[in-house]
Amino acid sequence: MCWSYRRHVVISQEILASSGSLVEMASAADLIQRRQRSEFLSSVKATLSTTIKGNPELIPSFLTLALNDAMTYDKATKSGGPNGSIRFSSEISRPENKGLSAALSLLEEAKKEIDSYSKGGPISFADLIQYAAQGALKSTFLASAIRKCGGNEEKGILLYTAYGSNGQWGLFDKQFGRTDTEEPDSEGRVPQWEKASVQEMKDKFSAVGLGPRQLAVMSAFLGPDQSKTESLLASDPDVLPWIQKYQRSRETVSQTDYEVDLITTLTKLSCLGQKINYEAYTYPVQKVDLSKLKL
């Protein structure tokens, strides 16, 4: 074997070794970022859980706040959606958002606490609003499980964890990294749900790519009185079968069909038109200086 060939082999091996190290370092950095986001999200959820637990009367408002922020999405212009625009005074004061200011104010206070311990920058309102809706839903699911266990909290928690749909939140949790818009979304994109006809609701849901099934499962988001909303929706032959399906599901021990469809629908709504930054809330990891690698 000639000297030049041996040298070429040695250099190639060193390059491969260096490349392997780079891949390992990149993988390690990715794992670090995932852990950072996971830990931060867990802290965010804990803060929101405390906020919601202390204000259970505002649960319907948290749900509608998330829905109305998302429902500004316009497919034609690819604008709007769950981008935090509802935080602006000119938008939260619109007729369709009447009564939601108290919930928004609580989230603004929660944001101050979250930002105080965040190492990767402030949380966006876009994320905060959607994760507050998740927390509100979880609290209602858990409360239902506890009631079905005769008020026994320990058994209720076990029921929800073991037989409920808590594991279905996986995809929703990955959608963490929405960016806030810097201006209100256009007016006229969101109906006044409590005054809208079923057809108007169907048209709006259709406009964002959803149908009667999703409209039925989102009944809790369409006003403070879910039973009243469902009675109205049941007047439509397209929506009625789904209303009946979810009412039956809620009567079962695990209400799985209802919870799974609701989680799936909220997940889709919560990222309409949004580009998720999967590096959001992470903080810098050590960069590799390629110029210092010895070949």
CATH for 270: 1.10.520.10
Q: What are phi and psi of 79, to 5 degrees?
A: -120, 165
pLDDT of residue 9: 47
Residue 49 falls within a domain, yes or no? yes
CA atoms within 13 A on the CB side of 137: 32
Residue 122 falls within a domain, yes or no? yes
Position 223 confidence tier, pLDDT thresholds 50, 70, 90: very high
Task: Examine the pLDDT at 294 and tell me if it is beyond 80.
Answer: no
Task: Examine the pLDDT at 235 and tell me if it is beyond 80.
Answer: yes
Ramachandran assignment for 8, one of left (phi > 0), alpha (psi -120 to 50 degrees), beta (any other): alpha
pLDDT, tens only, 66-118: 999 999 999 999 999 999 999 999 999 999 999 999 999 999 999 999 999 99
Q: Taking CA 141 as the corner, what is the angle to CA 171 and CA 83, rounded to the nearest 5 degrees?
A: 45
Position 253 confidence tier, pLDDT thresholds 50, 70, 90: confident
Mean pLDDT of 168-189: 96
Residue 171 falls within a domain, yes or no? yes
Count how many domains the chain has: 1
pLDDT, tens only, 123-176: 999 999 999 999 999 999 999 999 989 999 999 988 888 876 788 999 999 999
pLDDT, tens only, 9-55: 454 555 445 555 555 545 656 788 889 999 999 999 999 999 999 99
Residue 227 falls within a domain, yes or no? no
Residue 177 falls within a domain, yes or no? yes
Mean pLDDT of 189-205: 97
Task: Examine the pLDDT at 8 and tell me if it is beyond 80.
Answer: no
What is the three-class DSSP state of 94?
Answer: coil
pLDDT of residue 176: 97
Residue 165 falls within a domain, yes or no? yes
Which residues constitute the domain of residue 110?
Answer: 26-190+260-282
The mean pLDDT of the chain is 90
